[in-house]
Structure 1
Amino acid sequence: MNLFRTPFFLPKFYPSLLWRVPTENKELYLTFDDGPMNGPTEFVLEELKKVKAKATFFCIGDNVSKHPDVFQKVIAQGHSAGNHTFNHLKGWSTSLEKYLNNIAQCETHIQSQLPVTGYQPLETGNQKPVTKFFRPPYGRITNAQIKALKYQYQI
């Protein structure tokens, strides 16, 4: 398992993206990328259960297709799911059309596995609750991709 920290200067270049959730409480938001997978995702779920913690899992659509049972465990245990593209594409080296189609393909697979209620909303200050999350693989996303996605997703 790798731990990554966002370079301190990136939020200044992309202020419209979600970097922190305003809160008056001491809270820690846990996120996990690239699942669901047999083994690693199940291990994380067991550890989260031990400490009664919730997390957001940014899922690759192809992995949702391959491991729907693991994805169902994520949702059944009350965690949130987010879109991480269908094939873990690098935004900087992928055309806008191909990138958006890949995200839509992932969304279709995620939605097909969710209960009727869909995603749990995230309260972001005074803004309207956002019901869908997207995290770009490798953190690589172009301004054109952000512009195309920002009305459908919290990035």
Structure 2
Amino acid sequence: MPAPVRRLLPDCLWEMPGPDRTLYLTFDDGPVPEETPFVLAQLAEYDARATFFCVGENLVRHPGIARAALAAGHRLANHTHHHISGWSHSQADFLTDVARCQQELNRLLPAPEARPLLRPPFGRITRPLARALSTSHQVVMWDVLTYDYDRDFPASQCLQSAIRHSRPGSIVVFHDSVKARRNLRYVLPRYLAHFAGLGFRFAAL
């Protein structure tokens, strides 16, 4: 993500820099039965932990999958209830949608989090909206976008780009969605194997 964009959104978390070889994998848009169980199985092979930014509607439809992610040690986080854009909705409507998703998350979590995580869909958020959200949530962006959702992006290129841009502390975006299936199922196993072979660990935020 270009530095000027980061400077415009100083309240957002973009990466987790540190001395350790740790990567922070995140998965947007689930949980869904078609792809989330595949992701969980791949992560389990490497004793990897990740953060799942969940759409509230999908939590309502598939709570069992969300519970399976929690039981495996992963973190659930907010991706709004209806997967709405912060650019095309009013601040009031966006905050209401976030609150509704958080309500569904809180039904699943052992205890409400003091400052839950939120990723705006498409990364679309304004500076005033980010500031308003910062009072209740940590807004999480990324420094590596895999483009697994882009069906015009070849899977091999998707993998090469993700590997090239990842470094210790990177927050990496994948999608556990039907749209991302082709690239996700190619990239994720190879990405995990590559960095595990280099001695990296995978942690939840």
The equivalent residue for 1:123 is none
The letter of the residue matching 2:137 is Y
2:9 and 2:130 in contact (8 A); partners too: no
The counterpart of 1:109, out of the listed 104, 112, 119, is 104
CA RMSD of aligned residues (A): 1.4
2:95 alignment counterpart: 100
Aligned equivalents of 2:109, 2:59: Cα separation in 1: 11
- The one of 141, 144, 151 aligned to 2:125: 141
Query: Residue 49 of structure 2 aligns with which residue?
Result: 54
TM-score, with length taken from structure 1: 0.84
1:58-97 mapped onto 2 (5 Å cutoff): 58-97=53-92
Question: % of aligned pairs identical?
Answer: 40
Question: 2:126 and 2:4 mapped to 1: Cα distance?
Answer: 16
Distance 1:131 1:153 in 2: 5
Name stretches of at least 5 consecutive residues in structure 2 with no aligned partner.
140-205
Gaps of 5+ in 1: 1-5, 120-129
Structure 1 stretches of 4+ moved >4 Å: none
Aligned to 1:17: 12
Q: In the aligned structure 1, how far is the partner of 2:136 from the partner of 2:122?
A: 20
The one-letter code matched in structure 2 to 1:112 is R
TM-score, length-normalised on structure 2?
Answer: 0.65
**Which residue type is aligned with residue 115 of structure 1?**
P
Instruction: Work out whether residues 11 and 130 of structure 2, in 8 Å CA contact, stay in contact via their aligned partners in 1.
Output: no
- Cα 1:94–1:45 shift into 2, 3 Å: same
